[in-house]
Amino acid sequence: MPQPSETPTLDLKTRLRKPLKWALAAGLLTALVTLFLPDYYRSEARLLPVETKGLGGNLGGLASAAAAFGVSLPVGDSNDANYVDVLNSRWLREQLLQTEFQYHIRNWHFGTERVEKGTLYAYVDKRNMDRALKELGTLVSASRDLKSKVISISAETKSPELSQLLVDRASKLLEVFLQDKGRTRGGAKATFAEARLADARHEMDEAEDTFRRFLEGNRNYQTSGDPAVRLKGSRLETELRLRQQLVTTLAMNREQALLEEKNDIPILNVLDPANLPIEKSKPPRSVIVLLAALLVGLGAWAWQNRAWIQARMHRYDDEPTTAHEEGNP
């Protein structure tokens, strides 16, 4: 009768030596390769926007400014949520790409440090603006905490200085957008009041000239015996007073509109300015080395003991069938 095949025995002590050697060799080789990977450094700034009186309620100054630059901002949402949309807008990112920076950089971990000066567009090294904008999205990011409403701007590049400069530049561009480029409701009112005040002053000057010419021939028109002269003089004097009152009212409205314009400008409180990173953010060399050693060691062990593994798998496959056959009469 044929003898059943026995499962090969596994001597762990002797069979683990070669996989461990392979794992050690793979770890050393991976560690050597990772040294040629460039280090990346992450810088971050945290901003706390303060909503002013003029920004509460409807679309507000920020949304009007964003619409002028093609940035669609939702109506009725909190304005600090819109700041992230401005930071991610094409206008602001193109400004970043066109900005020139000077920074120190290394090509690999132990490489010599050199000084680079050029635009961010030259740093990303892409053939056209669309690809450069897509690459910039992986370098610069903006987020907002829903509870604290704190806005975080971060940048991760091969140079600590460049990361810090990018965050600083993005923060300043946001302030420029809000203050200089924003056409707020108060600003629109001030512009209209200024134009209307200029027209009212011109009309007042015309009324003064007309009344002055009338007085040159009718100095005592109140005591004149001609009713038409008294009526015309009274009408011209009333018209001049109305024009003077209108100029005074418009001047006060203009000052009020200017105050509202100042109130419409958001305030950005810098909680944490962009830091100059010292420790790298990636690559995680130790994790890469450990994973490579583990995978190579497991693969070498499985290949070396493939006969034992196959025998164990066949034995597990045969056990249910045998048990079923033994239960039959």
- Shared domain for 56 and 172, answered yes or no, is yes
- Shared domain for 74 and 58, answered yes or no, is yes
- Shared domain for 57 and 126, answered yes or no, is yes
How many domains are contained in the chain?
2
- For residue 163, the one-letter residue type is S
Tell me what the mean pLDDT of segment 269-292 comes to: 85
- For residue 168, the one-letter residue type is D
- Shared domain for 254 and 237, answered yes or no, is yes
Q: Classify the C-alpha dihedral 116-121-124-126 as positive or negative.
A: negative
Nearest one of 143, 163, 113 to 280, comparing CA atoms: 163
- Shared domain for 205 and 220, answered yes or no, is yes
For the chain, give the mean pLDDT.
77
Provide the edge-to-edge strand list for the sheet that holds 140-144. Answer: 140-144, 151-157, 41-50, 267-272
Q: Which of 248, 272, 296 is the last residue of a domain?
A: 272
**Whether the predicted pLDDT of 165 surpasses 90:** yes
Per the CB < 8 A criterion, the answer to whether 258 and 40 are in contact is no
Which residues is 115 bridged to in the sheet? Answer: 104
- pLDDT for the residue 43: 92
pLDDT digit string (tens) for 205-238?
Answer: 888 888 888 888 887 877 777 788 888 888 888 8
- Shared domain for 66 and 134, answered yes or no, is yes
Asked if residue 224 belongs to a domain, the reply is: yes
- Shared domain for 144 and 157, answered yes or no, is yes
- Shared domain for 240 and 144, answered yes or no, is no
Tell me what the mean pLDDT of segment 181-195 comes to: 70
**Whether the predicted pLDDT of 324 surpasses 60:** no
Domain, as residue range, for 47: 41-184+265-272
- Shared domain for 134 and 216, answered yes or no, is no
Tell me what the mean pLDDT of segment 99-121 comes to: 85
- pLDDT for the residue 73: 44
- pLDDT for the residue 166: 93
pLDDT digit string (tens) for 38-86?
Answer: 888 999 999 887 755 544 444 444 455 444 444 444 444 445 557 888 8
Please tell me the distance from the alpha carbon of residue 258 to that of residue 256, in angstroms, as a whole number.
Answer: 5
The enclosing H or E element of 157 equals strand 151-157
- Shared domain for 54 and 137, answered yes or no, is yes
Q: Which of 264, 281, 296 is the last residue of a domain?
A: 264
Structure-token pair, residue 94: 């193109």
Quote the pTM value. Answer: 0.60
Asked if residue 91 belongs to a domain, the reply is: yes
End-to-end CA distance of the chain: 22
